[in-house]
Amino acid sequence: MGNKKQRNVFHGLRRRKRLMFNKKKTKRAVDTLITQHTTITGDMAFSGVLYIDGKVIGNVSAVEGGSILTIGARGSVEGEINVPHVIVFGEVEGDIHANEEVELMEKASIKGDVYYSLLQMAMGAAVNGKLVHKAPAGTQRLEHKPQAKSQIDSE
């Protein structure tokens, strides 16, 4: 009986993990594809959806909100990334700045800091740098201000 209970708990955990990482998202068509045997040297800016399965040596930035960058399992970027939504299966050597979401998949390797509003990180992903949470656009951060001390004079 205990074995059946353990199995149910295990299946419950697996189901919860699937729900966390496999949320249905609206899929968008890839606008630009950099294939496996392609190397681009220099900074690049894009709009829409960019999929990198090759190598980019330079900074990658989005020119419009809602843009998505996916770095495939064979892809790599050596430079800073400034894109609202970043999905990494491959390697990044440089900082990632994403004001919406960063998804680090199982074999993702990041050598740099990751600045994010939302972060999903699969078991096996590696970050050699800082993870820095930043508030989503349009929200205000509350600051703690110490109250002034009052003095009571006794006479």
Task: List pLDDT tens digits, range 73-130.
Answer: 999 999 999 999 999 999 999 999 999 999 999 999 999 999 999 999 999 999 999 9
| CA-closest candidate to residue 97, choices 79, 73, 109 | 79
Among the residue ranges 16-25, 26-35, 73-82, the one predicted with the least confidence is 16-25
Residue 13 has pLDDT above 50, yes or no: no
- pTM (2 decimals)? 0.73
Please report which confidence band the pLDDT of residue 148 belongs to, taking 50, 70 and 90 as the band edges: low
Angstrom CA distances, 3 to 7, 12, 13, stand at 6, 14, 15
| CA-closest candidate to residue 58, choices 49, 70, 75, 45 | 45
What does R_g of the chain's alpha carbons equal in angstroms? 21
Q: What is the number of other CB atoms lying within 10 angstroms of the CB of residue 47?
A: 13
